[in-house]
Structure 1
Amino acid sequence: MRSVKLIVAFILLFNSNHVFAQDFTDSWLGHFSYLDIKDISQGETKVYGAAENAIFTYDKQTLEIEKLSTINGLSGETISSIEYVENKGLLLIGFENGLMQVYKESENDFLTVVDIIDKPTIPPNNKRINHFMIYNDFAYISTDFGISLYDINNLEFGDTYYIGDGGSQIKINQTTIFEDQIYAATNVGISKALVSNPNLIDFNQWTRIVSANWVGITSVNDKLFASRSTRRLYSVINDAISELVVYSDLIVDTREEQGNLLIATEKEAYVYNTETSLNVVATAQTIEDVSMLFTAVSLSQNNNIYIGTQGIYTTAIGQEGYGILQTNVSDTSVYQEIHPESPLLNKFFKIKTQAGEVWGTHGGHSVTYNFNGGLRRSGLSHLKNEEWNNISYDSIASAVSNPWYLSYLSINPFNTNQVYVGSYFSGLLDINTESISIFNQDNSSLVPFAGAIHLVLANNFDSNGALWVMNGRVDNSLNKLENGQWTGINMQDIINPRTSNLGFSDIAFTDDGKVFISSLNYGIIGVDTNGDKKFIEDVEFNMPSEKTWTVETDLQNTIWIGTDRGLRVIYNTSEFFSNPTFQVSDIIVLDDGTPRELLFQQYITDIEVDGSNNKWIGTLDTGVYYLSSDGQETIFHFTKDNSPLPSNDILDIAIDDENGLVYFATEKGLVAFGSESSKPEETLEDAYVFPNPVRPNFNINNDKIKIKGLTDNVNIKITDIEGNLVTEAESRTNGKFKGFNLEIDGGTALWNGKNLGNVTVASGVYLIMLTDLDSIETKVLKVMIVR
């Protein structure tokens, strides 16, 4: 009886699903970190560096650097591999989740390819793109499931090869062409097949020449080299392997460039000449006394070596990467850093902004205020004058001991050069342009929870310039620094035992001096001006959860509360204290005529109020909402699908009242939206109009004339030079996003150049008459329009 052998070919057919990415450069800014490098690819004139989820190009001739991020259409997902196809003007970008994008240089546009990520037969955790190899106008894509072919002329997928036992999915780390064979380094061995074989989808056409976990393979001239996960480099001759080198560290990159073999380990980069034997041409090592790792290596025609770096973030080390390091074969002792100015890390814990500056922390803690959810050693990111001037962890640690888990921060409203940063371990840092010092049990009312551990949490300045600071799991958990004097306020009459509440995440103040605090276990806590204290935390008082994460006072003295299960407000803060059965309010809106609770069961992380009293609300999983002052209208709802947000998990929001930028911090990067809103001024003294004059090349209908420096309640009349009324608006009536030609958004008015008849005005001089409706203060501005 003869046995019959069944040959099964597993075929993955991709119907190339392409989506053109949207460009957001008109209204958004991106602030991504470019210090940790995932991969490098270069051509004759430029180098591409892939960071965590953003890319930059370095022009070798002009030395100019350009950035590419979600603002330009990049996905924002974590990048795993890139390949520059210079003769096609294409950059292929692979991501850890299986997404692929093609950047077209000539069009400055991204094509998003979702074939792999949308394929249900591939497990989600097996879709990572590991390597691109270009051969005969096809990209051979090494993935965690097999090898996929992508036609770079027609920009469409071809076949996919499953080359594991029985046609199973196995991890392909890298492929190369040697002689007439395609070789694949996999996690179970090295396999090969005839590259011209039209039936490579049949796993039986592939031969495994050796087993084990192979992390890289490349051909150099007439030789073949492969690297293993055991830190070893081998030559492959007639399908037999021969050990060449044992390295001290793991091999992270194996490639051929300029006829040389390049090897990068975590600590060293090597350039080898392979013409006769394996000869070291150059060795580059990590910088002495600097903690970092190498991630990739590339060699240019003029023998410049480009090395990707990555920071080390452990309990013992807190050092960010250095972007790409450039050195030369002739002297590898000299390095040049290449990367755009950027924050230290993508993941922010908290941000604050004031007067055009942004400060950000990266430390933090877990949702239950444990250390294991935070980053022990990290510096501070600081944006000033449109440049990032960061403070490294080592700089801070040289001034104070153990500045671990830097978390909550406040900028001094009277001195923007001074910022207070809470260390969730050591105390409160006082950082200014000249020095760094710390407040702890030795010089303040802040006392340790245990030993020398100070669990300093939320802090904020009130309108009088006093700094309020929360200190976790101690008796005097509320502290106040005013005029250089510290005062500790005992909270045990409501929080008892002191360890029954694990943490405090936010502080807000009312106009009459009441203090409201968000807490993990006691809901919303209030402290009245007479010292009375109260908390509301359960459904009996209409609280959806005891876990509150943010609290904010709006311009009408209403308290807005964000919990992990929805939104609540306090309209009457006096009744909060006086009424023992007081209930917080939810907001009911009509959804297609059906009443529903606003942001029902949403995990709210932050609430910020802009100059128009509108609310920016950040959430976990559903992005950010921009609501009207009463919450009845959703003006914007930004997610990663309709905006450059790299994540729908919003960790913090900050509004710069000076320039109208609204910053959104996520674990994958910081972006800013140009809202054009500003905080109202006290008087009209500094009001001005721009651009002025309005020139013919200015798109007046879309970009609009701005009138800045307005007070809270103002009337604006615009007339021609003869006194004829052109248009009119008032703060409480003509709000933004309501279709008015002249609209007022906090301290800024925007005019689209149209009159009451909805016709764009002619060239001429126009008078802008401002009247504060409360104080009757007036001011007249002039603007010249040239069409």
Structure 2
Amino acid sequence: MTNQNILSFFLLFFLLSFNFSQAQTDIEIGEWKSHLSYQAGKYVTQSDQDIIYATNWGIVYIDKEDHSVRTLDKLKGLSNVGIERIKYNQTNDVLIIAYSNSVIDLVKEREIITLLDIQRFNNIAGDKRIYDIFLDSDSTALLATGYGVSRINLNENIFTFSTFTGVPTKGIIAKDNMIYTTTDEGIYRVAHQSNVNIQDFGTWEFLGDNGFPSDYTARSIVIFNHKIYVVIDNELYRYDSGLAEKIYTPEDDFTIEYLTAEGEYLVVGESCLTEVTDPTTGELKEIECGGTLFFFDTNENYTEIGPCVNRPLHAIEDENGIVWIADRWYRFRSYDIKNESCNGGFSLNSPFSEKNYDLAIKDGKLWVTAGGLTLQNHFQFWFEGIYSLINGQWNFYNTLNRPKLGGNLDFLKIAIHPEKDIIYFSTFYNGLVKYENDTFAIFNDANSTLGNSPVADTNRTKTMGIAFDKDNNLWIANPTSPKPISVFLDNGEMKNFAIPAPASNIKSLFDLEIDDNGFKWFAVTEASAGILVFDEGDMEVNGDERVRAISSGNSALSTNQVNCIEKDLDGDMWVGTSDGIIIFECGSNIFDEAQCKGTRKIVEQDGIPAYLLVAEDVKAIAVDGANRKWVGTTTGIFVLSSDGEELIARYNTENSPLFDNTILDIEIDKQSGEVFIATGEGLISYRGTATHGGNTHQSNVLVFPNPVRPDHVGPIAIRGLARDSNVKITDITGQLVFETKALGGQAIWDGRDYSGRKAATGVYLVLGTTTKNLEEPQSVVAKILFVN
């Protein structure tokens, strides 16, 4: 039989025996995926082919011809997040990206060069931000910065000079061999000549008199129609032939934010800020009142548009007279000057905002809240609401598209009903929000057992931790209320509880986790305790409740600052504090203070025994299918073994695509093993190796990729196994090729045998056992076809 016939036989056998199986997520095991918000731009530049927007977290390229979109972010090669300014150099095809931490990326055709020079200026203790970029030649760029002025050679990727001015420079241009920069003290210029020491700020000339005010502040500056235009004291001036002349003054409450001149018109962007009287306090406060754009022609006649902008940040005109607008109003928009029409714009399929607080997943559907609290646990007044990722599509729910949510701010925790298609969201502003059948309902002190504080914020129904128990009853932390524990029973009834003695003084309950005994574990934000454990007893009987306040004085807690509580697959409670992790393995004995104090594990760190994650501020804990702990801190992520004694992996901004080291929450998709990570700068995910497994193998164990083709590089995953199953892989003759233990419900094979050789073409059998001995110990659960 020929090799071709053998391959055909194997393929036919495989197709008749097992179905092809595919992964349920679009990233491979060990890969990262960014979920950044691309709803609008903050700055804009252009090449011949593209309009290029900057967001805080990445770059959006919009093709001028077909309006197709592509993005660039840290996962794809950028060095940072927090973009401040961008500028495109047409001649050398270089995109200059300046970040808020003063790092610069030069995005070239085949590489991205990162410049750290400004960050390393050790003699500068203050402002190093980059405020403006001007291309003064085909190969160089001038920078206006918080410390002064610098110049970069874009071909050699070096700084050619830096001038320390002692005052921040806000705008910069070069014209007729002179460099001009604007500051809060006025405009300075210097001759760009070999006999002038540009780096000595003493050689720079201050521009005064000749039409300039005697004492003035200068901001944006551009060259238009061979003349210099500059914003001085919030008025537009022309500077030409050594004379300055005021040509335009904004209306009251309006401020000129920027000038650009890349087309036929000088584009002027203005924002509005006005004072109103607060009806509650009677105090004056400033509120935003929109914005506008002006287009000045070469004769300095201008036209104004308003409807296409709201809170302008930047705008440029392309060669077709289309003005591309960046502002804080959502969506990428443009305005056609000649046709006087506004393109209402678009946003990318992405989260509504970078803000994220809590994550929850069920049946592959991700839900995200966009709220938050201050360090003092006060309101942030954030309106962004809720996002969802369902079947690859992002949606948002807030006051912009759901008027019912208009009175709700600071969405915090999420609880998904175990059996019904119902989701609850806690808010810190106006109670509990229920989502069912695409409709929202709100529960507060007026229509439920939830209450308000009798002392402060008396009009606000604050809710925090929420969780379902095994009977599908929803438990709610209602901080500062006289009865701070409420329960919405699955039958529709409601009940609330005051905290009994000896912990009756505790009212500020926040995070909530329910253990296998049905006991409620609340994180407490009061100095007297870190955790409150509550047992309601018989729901029909009043007065049989039990409670225990756990503190650093009566347990292994080293601090009362408890941030999170998570139950693992063995039923143990892992408590994240500002000083590491405490583990409670007490079961039903939690109310026995003498026997249950918790454990601070001692592990080796760099060869030195120390408490587990001592001094780490633990913000989130998630448990994967192998019972490993994904621990989010303010210094990144630690992945720990099931018992916490081994560090499996460490991820931070230095060694991974994480956008920020401050981890707000972690949630793991039980089916796919994808780990979703909420950071202070946005959402990112990582495809882990573990999934959740049951007591027996699933009927449809999935292998992916399958078949394994010659060009495949990476692991092969076998999913749907019994938890921690022993797995053997043999060839068709029964010869053992590989043996491993499943990580929860998923085994990983690198496609090689024990000698390191890649598996040959053929069919391989996957045999799975279960540690619980609930099935035939050597049953074939899957087959894998290799095609080489």
Tell me which interval the TM-score lies in, with the shorter structure as reference length: 0.7 to 0.9
Q: How much is the aligned-residue C-alpha RMSD, in angstroms?
A: 2.3
2:103 paired with 1:99 = yes
Which residue of the partner structure matches residue 669 of structure 2? Answer: 656
Which residue of the partner structure matches residue 19 of structure 1? Answer: none
- Displacement after TM superposition at 1:513 (Å): 2.0
Name the CA shift for 1:713/1:77 in 2 (closer, same or farther; >3 Å): closer
Which residue of the partner structure matches residue 300 of structure 2? Answer: 278
Which residue of the partner structure matches residue 739 of structure 1? Answer: none
Indicate conservation of the 8 Å contact 1:209/1:239, yes or no. no
Deviations 1:403-461 (A, max 9, x none): 1221112223334x532111212110012342111112333221222443211111122
- Displacement after TM superposition at 1:556 (Å): 1.1
2:387 paired with 1:388 = no
1:420-569 equivalences in 2 (<5 Å): 420-450=424-454, 451-483=458-490, 484-497=492-505, 500-504=506-510, 506-521=511-526, 522-528=529-535, 530=537, 531-569=545-583
- Displacement after TM superposition at 1:535 (Å): 1.6
Name the CA shift for 1:766/1:582 in 2 (closer, same or farther; >3 Å): closer
Name the CA shift for 1:83/1:254 in 2 (closer, same or farther; >3 Å): same
Deviations 1:158-197 (A, max 9, x none): 11123xxxxx422111112233322212221112222335
- Displacement after TM superposition at 1:482 (Å): 2.5
Amino acid at match of 2:146: D
Which residue of the partner structure matches residue 376 of structure 2? Answer: 368
1:359 to 367, 373, 376: 367
Structure with more relative contact order (C-alpha pairs < 8 Å, separation 6 or more): 2
- Displacement after TM superposition at 1:607 (Å): 0.8
Indicate conservation of the 8 Å contact 2:453/2:482, yes or no. no
Distance 1:585 1:61 in 2: 63
Which residue of the partner structure matches residue 714 of structure 1? Answer: 725
Deviations 1:552-581 (A, max 9, x none): 111111110011222101112323213446
Which residue of the partner structure matches residue 785 of structure 1? Answer: 786
2:313 to 287, 295, 298: 295
Amino acid at match of 1:273: D
Distance 1:362 1:479 in 2: 24
- Displacement after TM superposition at 1:615 (Å): 0.1
Amino acid at match of 2:675: V
Amino acid at match of 1:285: G
Amino acid at match of 1:305: V
2:63 paired with 1:59 = yes
- Displacement after TM superposition at 1:278 (Å): 0.2
2:354 to 346, 355, 360: 346
Aligned residue pairs total: 717
Deviations 1:69-98 (A, max 9, x none): 221232334222110112212110112222
Name the CA shift for 1:698/1:746 in 2 (closer, same or farther; >3 Å): farther
Indicate conservation of the 8 Å contact 1:79/1:95, yes or no. yes
SS of the residue aligned with 1:71?
helix
- Displacement after TM superposition at 1:703 (Å): 1.6
Which residue of the partner structure matches residue 219 of structure 1? Answer: 223
Indicate conservation of the 8 Å contact 2:589/2:595, yes or no. no
Which residue of the partner structure matches residue 160 of structure 1? Answer: 162
2:207 to 196, 206, 209: 209
Which residue of the partner structure matches residue 74 of structure 1? Answer: 78
Deviations 1:194-224 (A, max 9, x none): 2335422232332111352111111113222
Distance 1:434 1:647 in 2: 33
Indicate conservation of the 8 Å contact 1:256/1:262, yes or no. yes
- Displacement after TM superposition at 1:338 (Å): 4.1
Deviations 1:636-666 (A, max 9, x none): 1111111111211111111111221111112
Which residue of the partner structure matches residue 132 of structure 1? Answer: 133
1:763 to 761, 775, 778: 761
Deviations 1:703-752 (A, max 9, x none): 222111112142322222222222233xxxx3xxxxxxxxx221111111
Distance 1:761 1:376 in 2: 54
Indicate conservation of the 8 Å contact 2:355/2:371, yes or no. no
Deviations 1:223-268 (A, max 9, x none): 221113x431111133332111112322222121124312112211
Name the CA shift for 1:719/1:180 in 2 (closer, same or farther; >3 Å): closer
SS of the residue aligned with 2:590?
helix
Indicate conservation of the 8 Å contact 1:65/1:339, yes or no. no
Distance 1:680 1:635 in 2: 20
- Displacement after TM superposition at 1:400 (Å): 4.7
- Displacement after TM superposition at 1:365 (Å): 1.5
Which residue of the partner structure matches residue 113 of structure 1? Answer: 115
- Displacement after TM superposition at 1:57 (Å): 1.0
Gaps of 5+ in 2: 1-27, 209-214, 272-290, 538-544
2:587 paired with 1:573 = yes
Q: Which moved more, 1:322-331 or 1:217-226?
A: 322-331
- Displacement after TM superposition at 1:592 (Å): 4.6
SS of the residue aligned with 2:482?
coil
1:146 to 120, 145, 148: 148
Distance 1:247 1:341 in 2: 37
Amino acid at match of 1:476: K
Which residue of the partner structure matches residue 737 of structure 1? Answer: none
Name the CA shift for 1:323/1:114 in 2 (closer, same or farther; >3 Å): farther
Distance 1:356 1:677 in 2: 15
Distance 2:143 2:705 in 1: 54
Amino acid at match of 1:284: I
TM-score normalized by the length of structure 1: 0.87
Deviations 1:116-146 (A, max 9, x none): 01111112x4100011111222100111111
- Displacement after TM superposition at 1:675 (Å): 0.9
Indicate conservation of the 8 Å contact 1:369/1:502, yes or no. no
Distance 1:232 1:308 in 2: 22
Distance 1:785 1:364 in 2: 50
Which residue of the partner structure matches residue 184 of structure 1? Answer: 181
2:408 paired with 1:399 = no
2:243 to 223, 235, 240: 240
Indicate conservation of the 8 Å contact 2:29/2:689, yes or no. no
SS of the residue aligned with 2:769?
strand
Distance 1:442 1:515 in 2: 25
Which residue of the partner structure matches residue 277 of structure 2? Answer: none
Q: Which moved more, 1:665-674 or 1:605-614?
A: 665-674
- Displacement after TM superposition at 1:26 (Å): 6.7
Indicate conservation of the 8 Å contact 2:258/2:268, yes or no. yes
Which residue of the partner structure matches residue 327 of structure 2? Answer: 309
Amino acid at match of 1:144: G
Gaps of 5+ in 1: 1-23, 163-167, 311-320, 735-743
Name the CA shift for 1:113/1:501 in 2 (closer, same or farther; >3 Å): farther
Distance 2:262 2:296 in 1: 10
Sequence identity of aligned pairs in percent?
A: 25
SS of the residue aligned with 1:512?
coil
Amino acid at match of 1:94: A
Indicate conservation of the 8 Å contact 1:25/1:72, yes or no. no
- Displacement after TM superposition at 1:608 (Å): 0.8
SS of the residue aligned with 1:83?
strand
Name the CA shift for 1:227/1:336 in 2 (closer, same or farther; >3 Å): same
2:770 to 769, 772, 775: 772
Indicate conservation of the 8 Å contact 1:692/1:784, yes or no. no
Amino acid at match of 1:300: D
Indicate conservation of the 8 Å contact 1:283/1:332, yes or no. no
Distance 1:493 1:198 in 2: 83
